[in-house]
Amino acid sequence: MSLPIISADQRLAEPRGIKGCIFGKSGIGKTSLLWTLNASTTLFMDLEAGDLAIEGWAGDSIRPRTWTECRDFAVFIGGPNPALRDEQPYSPAHYEAVCDHFGDPAALDRYDTIFVDSITVAGRLCFGWCKGQPEALSEKTGKPDVRGAYGLHGREMIGWLTHLQHTRAKNVWFVGILDEKLDDFNRKVFQPQIDGSKTGLELPGIVDEVITMAELKSEGGDPYRAFVCQTINPWGFPAKDRSGRLEKVEEPHLGRLMAKIRTPATPASDRLTYAPPRTDPAVDDQSQPQS
């Protein structure tokens, strides 16, 4: 058996989906982003039952109502993880059982993009399920143990997100609500609205793109909606661009955003700027001490 090296040509020829999450305040228009996607190749995972904004959209939907169904759909979409034991979720045994229930997974071949609305509701379903598990009960007293429930919740959510992240051939986008809070120093901070802290902390390291859909306002102009895409931004919004091809602010059109991510318009060595910005020489001269 030879060393299983994947050559650069093989790697570049592989289908590679984009995995990302889009956060924004309630009512900013996150669900309406479905209008910017090809309806015939997009599968809408409707967890919120809040599809009034896309009434008339011609795409297909699935509606998981429990955390068990969320896990079943994830393994059906992403396939089995051969590293897991049969009793674990996302294992080959879990995949076979789900295929027996849902049918041939080739039915998903027509879809390029999975749009999950929302990760906030997925977290609530997960936490509700976790509270009923043995780990959420104290071994000594048998009473509910909130710390055990939150620990299990974190592991379950990270496992679910990671499994969907490894669905290489498909785009997977999660949307969620962004909360605005004040820290101990009365500074404005933004946090994803997800039960527990583990998921929100680890999510940016799992997905390729973290986008904030925000309401911005130019000086003297009217407010407008936009995607904030880079970690270093003046508003403090959560953002990350693993592709290195996005500007700090992009138009709120998910279809065109994915097309830009796939277009290698910028040499890889020039995608990140490491040097500090240049300053005005005149300002530098004035800042020098006088002799």
Span 52-85, pLDDT tens digits: 889 999 999 999 999 999 999 999 999 999 999 9
Q: pLDDT grade, residue 291 (50/70/90)? A: very low
Sign of CA dihedral 255, 257, 258, 262: positive
pLDDT exceeds 70 at position 286: no
CB 86: neighbour CB atoms within 10 A? Answer: 10
Residue 170: HSE in the Cβ half-sphere, 13 Å Cα cutoff: 25
Angstrom distance (rounded) from CA 25 to CA 27: 6
Q: Against a cut of 0.85, is the pTM above it?
A: yes
- Helix axis angle, 146-165 to 198-206, nearest 10°: 10
> Residue 281: its pLDDT value, please?
56
Contact 263, 245 (CB under 8 A): yes
pLDDT for 183-203, tens place per residue?
Answer: 888 888 899 999 888 999 999
Angstrom distance (rounded) from CA 286 to CA 248: 31
Tokens of residue 64, six digits: 């998981």
Angstrom distance (rounded) from CA 196 to CA 224: 32
pLDDT exceeds 80 at position 277: no
Report, as an integer, the average pLDDT of 278-288: 53
Q: pLDDT grade, residue 271 (50/70/90)? A: low
Contacts of 214 (CB under 8 A, 6+ apart): 24, 25, 28, 225, 226, 227, 228, 235, 237
- End-to-end alpha carbon distance in the chain: 74
Sign of CA dihedral 225, 157, 165, 89: negative
The phi-psi region of residue 282 (left if phi > 0; otherwise alpha if psi is between -120 and 50; otherwise beta) is alpha
In order of 29, 208, 236, the CA distances from 251 in angstroms are 13, 18, 18
> Residue 3: its pLDDT value, please?
82
